[in-house]
Amino acid sequence: MLSQFQTVGHDLFTRGLVSSHSGNLSIRLGDRLIITRRGSRISCLQEPDLIETGISKNDRSTPLASIELAVHRAIYQETSALAIVHAHPPHAVALSLVETEIVPNDAEGLSIVGQVPVLGWHMKVRPGGLADIIAQALKQHRIVMVHGHGSFAIGQLLEGAYSCTTTVEESCRVICLLKSLQVGSDKE
């Protein structure tokens, strides 16, 4: 199990989808979950960086868990997800500041993730917040963006949630490139 967390955490960091101590990962195990520790270096996770706690109740490990624990719990309570990846993909975050929905214009993005809602407009967005809104949206989507904050992706494995995250970022990169070309062509 540790190797799954290590692989996805390392890949998220090397692709620039999280900074050294941001983002978090979790998996569900029945009525328990394993989530990355608050403040852990996601690029080089070790056994002490994985915190096991309850999905519905606190225990003595809970204070060590990621600040996004409330969001992960709500998602597991409301969906059939067995894994969650929370990242801060830069192109997707940039688009979340100006769009209420991200619609990939590449075939792969559209077929894998479809339309991606941007949640939290006109709301105070803070880590660990909007848990119920995010969980409800993930009943119908594989990934959502939180306005100016980041993405939450679900899957049956960490790899599946990671795939959604990278697909959205790649689609957003294409959208940003197209927007920059359109801006340039207007000036000619």
Higher pLDDT, residue 169 or 108: 169
pTM of the model: 0.94
Q: Are strands 116-119 and 143-146 parallel, antiparallel or unpaired?
A: parallel
Higher pLDDT, residue 46 or 129: 46
From the list 42, 22, 25, the residue with the least C-alpha distance to 162 is 25
Per-residue pLDDT at 148: 94
Q: How many CB atoms lie within 10 A of CB 124?
A: 7
Q: CA 95, CA 113: separation in Å to the nearest integer?
A: 16
Determine which of 7-21, 122-136, 160-174 has the lowest per-residue pLDDT on average.
Answer: 122-136
Residues in the chain: 188
Q: How far is CA 9 from the centre of its chain?
A: 12
High-pLDDT (> 70) share of the chain, % = 97
Determine which of 21-35, 78-92, 102-116, 133-147 has the lowest per-residue pLDDT on average.
Answer: 102-116
High-pLDDT (> 90) share of the chain, % = 84
- 182 burial level (CB within 10 Å; 0-12, 13-18, 19+): exposed
From the list 73, 50, 183, 51, the residue with the least C-alpha distance to 128 is 73
Q: CA 35, CA 94: separation in Å to the nearest integer?
A: 26
Domains of the chain, earliest start first: 2-186 (3.40.225.10)
3-state class of 175 per DSSP?
helix
Beginning with the edge strand found earlier in the chain, give each strand of the sheet holding 32-36 in spatial order.
50-54, 32-36, 24-29, 83-87, 150-155, 143-146, 116-119, 101-102
